[in-house]
Structure 1
Amino acid sequence: MTKEETVSLTVHLQEKEYLYYLLYSKYKIISFISGCFFIIIMVYLFILTDLSGIFTFLLSIGATLGFFTIVSIASHLSFKKNI
């Protein structure tokens, strides 16, 4: 392998790594926005139903964190499948 081929391969790998970084950042932003949206919905439903129990509040927080985790994992897996 010549020096030019090595440089070309290195540049290609750096471009692919940068593309990976950009796409992964996009999926992280999408999962963060969807998680925030779900938190707002859960808080709104909590206020709307006027349930004053700590159990209901903990349940809504647990559901929100679970949804955020599922969206993060799904976006990460779909991203890895695309690369």
Structure 2
Amino acid sequence: MTSTDEVLRRWWDALAAELGIEPDADPEALLDLAGTAAHSVVRPAAPLTTFLVGFAAGRAGAGGAELAALVERAERAAEDFG
């Protein structure tokens, strides 16, 4: 049986290839962020949060360390929300 982690890694790779991108991002950090948003805000905040971080990263041309910093900012914002 395939583990969830393996499926998610395969999906990450397949979707990145489909979109013609090579993201310099940590999928685990994004999943953690989604979990924080889901539990600290409301469940539907998870995809919205990760989208907004990705959008901000894309607009800024951020990758690697810059993207990690955006993820950290979003984590804190979700934890401090409400």
TM-score bracket for the superposition, by shorter chain length: 0.3 to 0.5
Relative contact order, higher structure (CA 8 A, sep 6+):
1
Q: Give TM-score scaled by structure 2 length.
A: 0.40
Write 1 or 2 for the structure with the bigger share of helix: 1
Q: Give TM-score scaled by structure 1 length.
A: 0.40
